[in-house]
Chains A and B, each alone.
Chain A
């Protein structure tokens, strides 16, 4: 039985190049109790790898994100996030989240579908005009979610090269020192504060304007919370989707029978996106540990109050106790309730939007390019919280 005194093993397990899920997770799921792990920075932690354990830790209020601020939080880089919605618990978290939740509900984002579909076609028109090979990441995967979130939030899309650098750094696990990390945060905040001032003078029909109203008229959030919320929406609003588009394409190219089936039965598209969300382990590692606020038993281990638990959703999504043939991609798999968007109060705010973007991006691409193929070596991001191609040359 593992105890808090057991020597922790080095974590993360996954390789940054590729999308494989480390076999260490299979071993971890099949043993009793939680693993004891140590990340490059911060204190040792428990690692939850099974579906039921993951749902318990992410969904139970006895586990706190805010408590991480008072501990040496386990993490991949020296620098750490000390503000934002992902460092909060209810009721503070609820107060901020409800201010923006409305903009991302299924009903709201569904209205954007025709526009997003048009965007995917316009981008492919450009690709066709230029001819193969083309970088799927830069010419398709990034412009879709960036264009959408910029319009929704009220950020000029032509600033993309500027915030791209900051956004990369915000999610980087590289050798950025704590100082570099915080300088980057300051620059991104200053940029956003400038945009907010501009919106104060010239209100528009966008999320930033509605948040400014909530602050100035309703006093429902502080100025720093306003800035951080806008930064969070911008970064979280594009990076993961932009990364999953090439990841999904790459995965489907590796499973040609599944890709063929999806092309033959377009009605499978929405379910296929859910299956890909389950199957593709996006994260380099479990991150954003939850701290137990009282003693809680998780999967055969007694987690003591004040101890952190990391939740490996990529592993939980491959748990045979929950999914039949979990290691097989099956685009026709019945509805799955995967944990690709997390679970509990921090469940991805933008999930309906991400789903829509992934459905449209994938659907248009595989329909219009029946000869879609890799046309060169994939260059991997590396040293980021999320894994995926930095450059992915395609032909068609």
Chain B
């Protein structure tokens, strides 16, 4: 089973946090970060990345339900 990861390019400030936590799932380009694949595994690390983003730019969805960042 997988979730979907989305990064809001308008919010992303390229802190490098997500790519540091899960380099296999997130990549940092020159100005913005992006998920390497839209589909991400259902892992704690994915939610950690969303929780840790200082710009709160990452959204993780399970179908239509938002599972990350956690409230």
Chain A positions within 8 Å of B, measured between CB atoms, are 55, 58-59, 61, 90-91, 94-95, 97-98, 101-102, 104-107, 337, 341, 343-345, 347-349, 351-352
Contact = CB atoms under 8 A, between A and B. Distances in A.
A348 B53 CA distance: 11
B54 A104 contact: yes
Contacts of B23: 61
Contacts of B16: 55, 58-59, 343-345, 347
A208 to B, nearest CB: 19
A349 B20 contact: no
Contacts of A98: 48, 51-52
B15 A94 contact: no
Overall SS of chain A's interface:
helix
Interface string B10-53: 01011111011101000010010000000000000100100111
A105 B48 contact: no
8 contacts: A61-B20, A97-B52, A101-B51, A106-B54, A341-B15, A347-B16, A349-B54, A352-B54
Contacts, number: 60
B56 interface: yes
Given A102-B69, A105-B53, A347-B16, 15 more contacts: A55-B16, A58-B16, A94-B21, A94-B48, A98-B48, A102-B70, A105-B69, A106-B55, A107-B56, A341-B15, A344-B19, A345-B16, A345-B17, A351-B54, A352-B54
A206 to B, nearest CB: 18
Given A59-B16, A344-B16, A344-B17, A337 B31 contact: yes
Contacts of A351: 15, 54
Contacts of A107: 56
Contacts of B69: 102, 105
Contacts of A347: 15-17, 54
B17 to A, nearest CB: 6
A296 B16 CA distance: 19
Contacts of A337: 13-14, 31
B60 to A, nearest CB: 13
- Chain B facing A: main interface SS: loop
A161 to B, nearest CB: 32
A346 to B, nearest CB: 8
A352 B57 CA distance: 13
A106 B12 CA distance: 12
B42 to A, nearest CB: 17
Closest 7 CB pairs of A and B: A345-B20, A59-B16, A347-B15, A344-B16, A344-B20, A101-B52, A98-B51
A341 B55 CA distance: 13
Nearest to A89: B20
A369 B45 CA distance: 48
Contacts of B51: 98, 101-102
Nearest to A345: B20
A351 B16 CA distance: 13
Contact of B45 (A55, A94, A343): A94
A352 B53 CA distance: 11
Contacts of A349: 54
A345 B14 CA distance: 11
Contacts of B70: 102
